[in-house]
Amino acid sequence: MHRTAVKQVVMEGVLDANDALAQSNRERFDNAGNYVVNMMSSPGAGKTALLERTLERLRGKLRLGILEGDVQTTLDADRLARFHVPLVQVNTDPGFGGECHLDANMVRSGLSELPLPEIDVLVIENVGNLVCPAEFKVGEDSRVMVYSVTEGEEKPLKYPLMFRSADLVIVNKVDLLEHLDFDLEQFLGNLDAVNPGVGRILASARTGQGVDEWCSWLERRKG
Amino acid sequence: MAIAESIVRIAGQHANGRQVTKVYLKVGHLRQVVPSALTFGFEIVAQGTPIEGAELALEQIPASGKCRSCGAGSQLPGFPLQCRECGGFDLEIIEGEELYVESLEMEE
């Protein structure tokens, strides 16, 4: 049989399917009255520690819910379980070698286990990674990055997509500044180079610095 | 890897069983896509599908934007994304955020 090459125009966005699912998640959140934060960072930047402080601080003020994303284990969910808030763990390891991010479908799969109408603010703790989570919308209202001062000043320039997409950057572990060569001014300059004027909070989940400011930010968003 | 999977899925849907020889992909410069890593992932994910063996033709699109202050257009080769005329940082991105399958080359 004679074969001929044909060219077919496709013009389909690689992330269209994910974006459509994210939109449907978003509608579900809106109907339930949830404000949804997609929290992203490198591994070990302190997302879970910050959430522990947040849950302590906002207890009785805001009804929080947590969706935990991790490649494996329920260690983070176990840490947060003592706060007795609605919490679901989504492990991404059924993906190819364990997906390095949450996508809209994975988030959707976790939602059935959460009592959405009883939640004011849902925090989605994404998989620790500065690259892929930025590409995948999950239906969030805002994106919050947790960045620790042990990661160096240059990362906004190396991973601009995530820093550009953030609505707020929490600069964590500032209690360590006196022990590090980290140049805070230079970091903030790099941050402004990729996301001019983005909100920033200097914080330490360990000492509690900045936690009030972050909690107020959440309360204002919800209010 | 998820992006590679998505490309293979899109190509498979449009190919409708025909053998795909080439997938044309447009990638904006502001995307964090590493061509060599994506090509490698694409080859692996395509195995056992009608896309297996197809070439991934990846075309990068340079970033450009329009200043919201003075209205001038600028090419944006790197960060900071800044207006060339007035130096402003508030830019509407015109090109550079693309990530789509443009077309397929197939045998029939």
Mean predicted lDDT score pLDDT of chain B: 93
Instruction: Count residue pairs from A and B with Cβ separation < 8 A.
Output: 94
pLDDT score of A1: 54
A95, closest residue in chain B (CA to CA):
B2
Distance from CA of B95 to the nearest CA of A (A): 14
pLDDT at A118: 97
| Average pLDDT rounded to a whole number, residues B22-40 | 93
Closest-CA residue in chain A for B13? A10
* Set of chain A residues whose Cβ sits within 8 Å of the Cβ of B6: 14-15, 17-18
Measured over the CA atoms of residue A77, residue A24, residue A198 and residue A196, the dihedral's sign is: positive
Contacts of B8 in chain A (CB under 8 A): none
pLDDT (tens place) for every residue of chain A, 223 residues total: 566 889 999 999 999 999 999 999 999 999 999 999 999 999 999 999 999 999 999 999 999 999 999 888 888 888 999 999 999 999 887 655 567 899 999 999 999 999 999 999 999 999 999 988 999 999 999 999 999 999 999 999 989 999 999 999 999 999 999 999 999 999 999 999 999 999 999 999 999 999 999 999 999 998 7
Instruction: Calculate the CA B33 to chain-centre distance.
Output: 8
Domain tally, chain B:
1
Flag if B14 and A12 touch (Cβ within 8 Å).
yes
Cβ(A124)–Cβ(A102) below 8 Å: yes
Contacts of A131 in chain B (CB under 8 A): 32
Closest CA to A36 of A84, A104, A132: A104
User: What is the domain-level CATH number for residue B76?
Assistant: 3.30.2320.80
Query: ipTM of the predicted structure?
Result: 0.88
Domains of chain A by start residue, with CATH: 16-222 (3.40.50.300)
Q: What is the pLDDT of residue A70?
A: 86
Average pLDDT of the segment spanning B13-17: 92
Closest CA to A48 of A56, A182, A159: A56
**What are the structure tokens assigned to A9, written together?**
């125009």
User: Are residues B49 and B9 in contact, defined by beta-carbon separation less than 8 angstroms?
Assistant: no
Which positions in chain B touch A11 (Cβ < 8 Å)?
A: 100-103
Selection from A157, A156, A139 nearest residue A200 by Cα: A156
Instruction: Specify the pLDDT at position B3.
Output: 92
- pLDDT attached to residue A94: 64
- B30 to chain A: nearest residue by CA? A161
- Residue B75: domain span: 2-107
* pLDDT per position as a tens digit, A165-183: 999 999 999 999 999 999 9
Q: Is the pTM of this model over 0.90?
A: yes
| Minimal Cβ distance to B32: which of A10, A14, A131 | A131
